[in-house]
Structure 1
Amino acid sequence: MSKTDVKEKLIQTTVDLLRESGRSEEVTSRQITEKAKTNLAMINYYFSSKDELINIAVNRLIKSAADDWINIENRAQSPYEKLLQMLLHLSQLTMQYYSLTKSTTIYELTKADIHLPFYIIPLLEQHFGGQRNEFEIKLTAFEVISFLQVLMVKADDFLKYSGKDVRDDHQREYVIETFLNSILKNE
C-alpha cells in the first residue's frame, strides 16, 4: 500500500468510526489502526496527532454534507438567501454532530489553518457585486465563519448571555439571520 493509500485509509476509517459512534471522544487510536489494518505509529507518521486526524475526518463528514446541499441548492435564490440557507444547513449539521464538531471547531479555531471562510467567498462576492474589494470580502467571510464557530462552541454560555438557545432550530435560525443581516447590511 502506498503512503497516500495508508493516509487515506486512516482518514476513511476514522470517518466510518465517527459515523458509527457519533462521538469523537469514543474513537481511539487503537480502533482506527485495527480497522485500517495498520500499526499505531502510522497516525503520528501521517498526522501531528489523533486530534488532527479526527478533525480531518469530521471536516470530511461536514464537507460531504455541505457538498450535497450545494448540489441541490435553489438556483433562483439571491446570493444572500443562498448564503443564509447554506449557513443554516451547516449549523444544523454542526448541532446534529455536536459531540464531534465541538472539539473539531475548537481545533479549527486554535490550531488549523484558516480555510473555512473560502467556502462562502463566492456567495459574498455575488452578494456585494463588486462593492467590496477582495480583502473586505475575505474579512467578512472570516467574521461570519468565526462568529458561527464561537457560537457553536459557546452555545451554553450564549444562552445565558442572550437568552437564545442555538441548539433549538428556530432560535438558531433567528440568531444567524439577525447576525447575517447586521454584517451584510441586508434590508
Structure 2
Amino acid sequence: MKSNNDIKRHILDATVKILLQGVDPELITVRKIAQKANIAIGLINYHFGSKEHLILEAIQTVIENVSEEGVQILTDNQVAPSLRLRQFLTKMSEIVLHYNAYSKILLKHELLSDSFATPTYILGILKEIDPNLSENEVRMLAIQVVAPMQYIFMKENGFLNYQDLDTLAYQKIIEIHLKRLGL
C-alpha cells in the first residue's frame, strides 16, 4: 500500500504530465487528473485542498525543472557577477515567455500572496556585485530588479502597446533596466 506522500506525489506527477501535453491549465478537470493518476477524485482534495492548489504546485514543478539551468548560471564563479545576473535574467525571461500561461499563473500567485520567492534567487549575486550593501539594501535591490520584470511579463501585450513595440526584446529591456539601477 502506498503512503500518503507517495499518493500525493503520484497525483502531482500525473498533473505535471497533463501540463506537459500542452493542456491549458484552465481546461484541466479534476476528473481528467483522477483518470491520469488512476485514483478516486476525492483524493485530490484530500491531498491538495483544491484543484487550483494542485495545478499551482504542478506548474511550480514544471517551472522549477526547466529553471535549473538558469539557477546554475548564478553559481558559475568563472563569470563576472554582473554578467551572471544578466544571463540569469535572460534565461528566466526565455522560460517565462516559453511557458507564458504557466508563468502568469505563478506570477499572479506570487504577486497576490505574501511570497517573495523570486527575489531571493538573486540575493547572493547582488551581494557579490556590491558587497557594501546591507542585507536590507540587497533585499530591496532584489525587489527593484525583479518586480518591474514581473510587471512587464504579466502585462506583456499592454507593455508592447505602451512602448509601441512588435515583440518583447527582453534582453534589451534587461540591459536598460539594470543600467538604470546601476548594475
- TM-score tier, shorter chain, comes to 0.7 to 0.9
Q: State how 1:122-161 maps to structure 2 within 5 Å.
A: 122-129=124-131, 131-161=132-162
Pick closer, same or farther for the CA change 1:4–1:122 going to 2, 3 Å: same
Task: Indicate the residue corresponding to 2:175 in structure 1.
Answer: 177
More displaced stretch, 154-163 vs 41-50: 41-50
Question: Which amino acid is the alignment partner of residue 39 of structure 2?
Answer: T
Percentage of identical aligned residues: 27
Task: Indicate the residue corresponding to 1:95 in structure 2.
Answer: 97
User: How many Å apart are 1:27 and its aligned residue?
Assistant: 2.1
User: How many Å apart are 1:28 and its aligned residue?
Assistant: 1.9
Residue deviations 1:33-80 (CA, integer Å, cap 9, x gap): 221122222222232432222222222222222213344675422111
Task: Indicate the residue corresponding to 2:107 in structure 1.
Answer: 105
Residue deviations 1:66-110 (CA, integer Å, cap 9, x gap): 213344675422111111111111111111111222223212211
Equivalent residues of 2:73, 2:84 under 8 A apart: no
- CA RMSD after TM alignment: 2.1
Question: Which amino acid is the alignment partner of residue 134 of structure 1?
Answer: E
TM-score (norm 1): 0.85
**1:37 matches 2:35:** no
Moved over 4 A (4+): none
5+ residue gaps, structure 2, are none
Task: Indicate the residue corresponding to 2:64 in structure 1.
Answer: 63
Pick closer, same or farther for the CA change 1:176–1:60 going to 2, 3 Å: same
More displaced stretch, 91-100 vs 71-80: 71-80
- 1:57 and 1:143 map into 2 onto residues whose CA distance is 28
Aligned residues: 181
Pick closer, same or farther for the CA change 1:147–1:51 going to 2, 3 Å: farther
Residue deviations 1:141-177 (CA, integer Å, cap 9, x gap): 2232222221111001111222245x54xx1111122
Residue 120 of structure 2: which of 118, 126, 132 is its match?
Answer: 118
Equivalent residues of 1:62, 1:90 under 8 A apart: no
Equivalent residues of 2:145, 2:178 under 8 A apart: yes
Pick closer, same or farther for the CA change 1:142–1:10 going to 2, 3 Å: farther
**1:51 matches 2:52:** yes
Pick closer, same or farther for the CA change 1:149–1:42 going to 2, 3 Å: farther
Equivalent residues of 2:59, 2:102 under 8 A apart: yes
Task: Indicate the residue corresponding to 2:26 in structure 1.
Answer: 25
Equivalent residues of 1:116, 1:145 under 8 A apart: yes
Q: State how 1:77-92 maps to structure 2 within 5 Å.
A: 77-92=79-94
User: How many Å apart are 1:19 and its aligned residue?
Assistant: 0.7
Question: Which amino acid is the alignment partner of residue 173 of structure 1?
Answer: Q
TM-score (norm 2): 0.87
Equivalent residues of 1:13, 1:36 under 8 A apart: yes
Equivalent residues of 1:33, 1:39 under 8 A apart: yes
Pick closer, same or farther for the CA change 1:62–1:22 going to 2, 3 Å: same
